[in-house]
Chains A and B, each alone.
Chain A
Amino acid sequence: MATPTYTLIDSTVLGSSASSVTFSSISQDYRDLVLVVELVSTNTSFAALRFNSDSGSNYSNVWMQGDGSTASSSSQTTTYIRGFSSAARTNPIMATFQIMDYSATDKHKSTLTRSLDPGLSTPVDKTVAYAGRWASTSAITQIDVVAISNSYDVGSTFYLYGIEA
């Protein structure tokens, strides 16, 4: 029996600048989440995800990127799931996060992300693919989208979808 899914759980459009956006009390009725973020930021900011308010160094990221002339890859263990980083700019930047098995309690949480990532130093627009892992078996009940430094500007959008799977 087919089950319609890809359900919009919640969304917001910033009417004033904010240093973070929090989705809390997330329903456990789904298996995966998709978070679509498009940011306007006239100052340095990140699209960084933290789960269940965990700000410890429990997140690992690996990514590859290309800017039209060169391609590179890197990885890090840090305090957030990485979506992009950007210096101040007028054009929006975006990331789509696939958060897999978020409600499971028998495995670490993993993510797949595609983004436009200008970067912080000598910013150049790049297309980036990320994979991330939160080293916790807890079900995700809260997601903080954190700017890390500075804030997101008016007009930034955040859409959270649930997928039964």
Chain B
Amino acid sequence: MSLILLGILNSQAAAAGGAAAYDLLETQVLTSSASSVTFTGLGSYTDYKHLQIRAVWAPTGSSNVGMRIRLNGDTGSNYFHHQLWGQSSSVSSQGFSNRSYWQISEGVQGVGWDSNVFSPTVIDLLDFSSTSKNTTGKFFLGGLNNVIGSPHITLSSGGWNNTNALTSIEIFCNGTLAAKSRFSLMGVK
């Protein structure tokens, strides 16, 4: 037996009542390759408690690169992060401190391998407007276009040793972001 649900509509969207708690704030879709994508003016989003970035991205070329994040333009050695990833038959972990960025994954292969393949990524930045504690983030990424090694799945998290409220988020890689990569900034109340 197969249950068929027809006529998909939005009729139940607001049925539960209460204010919306998850909003689209901005989206950037690259029409040409770029060295980075930056969301600025985050101070205007203090109605929100947390930020989420939903990305589908790839680097150019065909070599492996990792996605990186820098906050408020801080290039100091103020970031730490840990990664847990599965690749081939093994699960591995590594951690770093005193870095000048978060690296949320290793080896994501570029569109030079297959121009249709992009890697899904969800980035959560918690309590981003707090000025009383350091900023933390957690990350979930699928490295789907990796044929030099093999595809991988990565969970990671990190901290930024700074109590300033976030004003900007820069996303880049140790390469160039490919055209068609998409980055959406969401606000969570």
Question: Is B153 within 8 A of A19, CB to CB?
Answer: no
Q: How far is the CA of A71 from the CA of B86 in the complex (A)?
A: 9
**A70–B22 alpha-carbon span in the complex (Å):** 36
Instruction: List the A side residues contacting B120 at CB < 8 Å.
Output: 98, 100, 110-112, 131
Query: Size of chain A's interface in residues, with CB distance under 8 A?
Result: 63
- Report chain A residues within 8 Å CB of B34: none
Task: Assess whether A73 is in contact with B90, with CB atoms less than 8 Å apart.
Answer: yes
- Pairwise interchain contact A24-B86, C-beta atoms closer than 8 A: no
Contacts of B87 in A (CB 8 A): 62, 73
* Chain B residues touching A, majority SS: strand
CA distance A104 to B5 in the complex (A): 22
A136 to chain B, nearest CB (A): 9
Contact A10 B8 (CB under 8 A): yes
Q: Given that A19-B1, A25-B7, A131-B142 are known contacts, is A8 also in contact with B56, CB under 8 Å in the complex? A: no
Task: From the candidates A31, A62, A132, name the one contacting B152 in the complex (CB within 8 A).
Answer: A62
> Once the chains bind, are B186 and A129 in contact (CB under 8 Å)?
no
CA distance A74 to B137 in the complex (A): 26
CA distance A66 to B84 in the complex (A): 11
Size of B's binding interface in residues, CB under 8 A: 55
- Count contacts between A and B, CB distance < 8 Å: 186
Q: List the B side residues contacting A151 at CB < 8 Å.
A: 1
**Interface check B35, CB cutoff 8 A:** no
Contact between B8 and A27, CB atoms less than 8 A apart: yes
Write the chain A residue with the least CB distance to B140.
Answer: A112
Flag whether A137 is at the interface (Cβ < 8 A). yes
Cβ contact within 8 Å between A73 and B89:
yes
The chain B residues found within 8 Å of chain A, CB to CB, are 1-10, 12-13, 15-16, 20-25, 27, 47, 54, 56, 84-91, 114, 116-122, 140-144, 150-153, 155, 180, 182, 184, 186-187
What are 24 A-to-B residue pairs whose CB atoms are below 8 Å? A3-B23, A5-B20, A18-B3, A24-B4, A25-B6, A31-B27, A62-B142, A62-B150, A62-B152, A65-B86, A73-B85, A73-B87, A73-B152, A75-B151, A98-B120, A98-B122, A100-B120, A110-B120, A112-B140, A114-B140, A129-B153, A131-B119, A131-B151, A163-B24
